Copies of this chain bind each other. A is one copy, B any other.
């Protein structure tokens, strides 16, 4: 409701185009004589209205109509479902114009004008809002339609459809509890059964006339209202219903998922009906100017003769491939070919078209830039450059960086997935947190996930939420499913870095660790049962679905390298990436802490590591024992003994990474998370640990208790640990520099370590930690008789660090913005707990977008700007980068480009996305 109110309040800020604003009108006509407005008026007329107007301006055959603007929707929502005073007269006038254009009259007994009433928002929200067709029919006009068309069955079928649709959409006749279908469908089925026929088209005019009467009786029974016969009353009912549908549950949910503000509103287009179902020379269809799935340059689509649009969608009759139209309706086909080519040239992009053929005459009902898969987006962009339709830079700007995801992720066989859907095996839909497709056996904890994976079983790790101690389990799994947490929860973040499929925050799940059972809706799945996750859609599917690596991955990482067969998609991907690298100035690094992640990232084009989290290594194998021993130490001496055990293990980790990265820079962050994350939490594990360490259980328990924190995010972690226990920092520094020296000696190539101190909030912290690191470096270099050039810098992840950047720069060679924590503290919002209100906040336009997904420029961004300016002011050669999750987000990358950062760093699988986004940022700079 608040969002609705906001509409009226905010209206003043949404400016219609000049012409519209001047006249201050609410209703915009379009017809073959031209139109008010055009393609640029989407905000006011919605996408559908704007493009209908544009087609009219191009002189294309469009049934006349008019669009009621989105401003009216905002008024309607804010004023208790009423309209601006002048609207009624405007609509009346528009109807007169429409009648004139079509040569028919609304409500006329002889030659009645019928209309459709359609929704259309600024961006397409397919199927979310309502539409009413065939409006204007009543017991009188139906006879006129029958006479004029010479087809009584058609007329009564149109009437029957109208009553059904109006009854549902406007009058709210829905299935009651216990009813499987709505009463209209039930009556239709009953009649077919009675007549012993299989399809609707086997019913004759009289059957349909009887059905209209039945339908009207149903309306009366269910709504205690008589079905309106007056076409004017019908029209206003439909307009109100379409405006109301902007705020139906479906639409709100869709907006929340897609970050569309509630204040945008929908337009309503009232369009003269043309009929594809008047007989054998009529038909209707949808088409794309290129293949939306592959991007291949071929006119693609399907149609049905003697049908209305809804029949194409409903799937009762099987539509025909579009090219058959050349035979069945050659004139219309020729015209359609002319139009589709014209529209693609005009819009300079692939178009999605809807058309109807009425008695051999083609009418265009809609055109819009066609949605496409990532594959198609890349291929179309590259092809259009070849065709000289667009420039390389335009091609780069044309591909949504996120779309590249699809090219990289494993895929389910589409047929298998469709079958699973039909069989009702889609259990729930969570957040599409880590794209890809994964199938495996359910396991509820890390240890068992590893065990099963070792045996060769594919595993899906299912957790209420994950924590760093689940890292190995996640690594061992094909996919991760969590019941809690958002798009930037631990599970989502780590999964994306690992390139793992992840569905997060699937709230409908009920996970019982003790019984090892997962319940969702009615279904119960046990550990070991098969489960499949579609990380691109968030679908959680019961059972096993086959997956395979994508074409691009297969080519990039060698399995198909030998193949000489040309791959259109791989060629297009390679071209776009090459062009992007030429266009961008930002460097792209990756967040990685394992050699295999390094290899992947380099394959994707990473130019260095922007964030290597040393603590991830701590969970690995025997390291965790030494880490726990360190934590349980009660004196510095004890701690140093435990650290001495860790040193060779950490050194080996770094050696592996340095080898992979060669001369690329490697930014290594010293220990960051609070120590309690490394200790077990359930009683059994605590006992086992105590036994293993040979210390009393009570001591372990006491330590866990002592380390407990109210707000661990703001607790004793990061450099605060390094200050309290400088011996930890020293051990890590020693591991880094010894590893660098060894690799340099063995390979002849000097690694480029960059040591990064986390969670700094005062210059003195950095000074003290830097002193420890530098002293160790000198010691190692002296012993190795070798110097490795290195940088020492700090993360900027608390507001205070940004505010004292000038002081920090005195001790730092570089800053790296840790925008996850910086956003958390700037907003005072914990990522882990934000899921409860962020979707609502986006819907109500409190946030433009989830600030953990897209950098907030006014707050977090302002702090970054302060830090950049004052840091550089104090030290001109200060290097600046970003290693928060935002480093992989296109809109945030643009902001980083504007700040003049040297690089962004993101998870390996996002490197191609970042490369493209960086190119787009460079191309759009200053715009």
Contact = CB atoms under 8 A, between A and B. Distances in A.
Interface of A: 2, 5-6, 9, 709-716, 720, 723-724, 726, 759, 761-762, 764-765, 767-768, 771, 797-800, 803-804, 807, 821, 824-830, 832-833, 836-837, 840-841, 844-847, 856, 858-860, 862-863
Given A828-B759, A846-B768, A847-B762, A837 B716 contact: yes
A837 B724 contact: yes
Contacts of A800: 826-828, 856, 858-860
Given A713-B714, A762-B847, A840-B724, A826 B825 contact: yes
A263 to B, nearest CB: 10
Residue from the set A759, A761, A836 with the largest chain B CB neighbour count within 10 Å: A761
Given A6-B768, A723-B837, A837-B724, A829 B712 contact: no
Given A803-B859, A846-B723, A710 B837 contact: no
Contact of A829 (B761, B807, B837): B761
Given A9-B767, A724-B840, 8 more contacts: A710-B712, A711-B711, A714-B714, A723-B846, A759-B828, A762-B847, A799-B825, A800-B826
Contacts of A726: 2
A829 B714 contact: yes
B845 A764 contact: yes
A800 B720 CA distance: 24
21 contacts: A2-B726, A709-B832, A710-B832, A711-B712, A711-B714, A713-B828, A714-B714, A714-B824, A714-B825, A714-B833, A715-B836, A716-B833, A716-B836, A724-B837, A759-B828, A761-B826, A765-B846, A797-B828, A798-B826, A799-B799, A799-B828
So how many copies of this chain end up in the complex? 2
Contacts of A714: 711, 713-714, 824-825, 828-830, 833
A846 to B, nearest CB: 5
A828 B798 contact: yes
A506 to B, nearest CB: 15
Query: What 7 A-B pairs are tightest by C-beta distance, nearest first?
Result: A800-B859, A714-B830, A711-B830, A798-B828, A710-B832, A799-B799, A715-B833
Contacts of A827: 761, 798, 800
B711 A804 contact: no
B711 A837 contact: no
Contact of A803 (B710, B807, B833, B862): B862
A138 B825 CA distance: 66
Contacts of A824: 714
A825 B802 CA distance: 13
B846 A826 contact: no
A726 B856 CA distance: 25
Contacts of A765: 846
Nearest to A710: B832
Contacts of A762: 846-847
Contacts of A829: 714-715, 761
Contacts of A837: 716, 720, 723-724
Contacts of A720: 837
A833 B711 contact: yes
Query: Which of A803, A828, A863 has the most C-beta atoms of chain B within 10 angstroms of its own C-beta?
Result: A828
Nearest to A836: B716
A12 to B, nearest CB: 13
Nearest to A828: B798
Contacts of A862: 803
A715 B799 contact: no
B844 A764 contact: yes
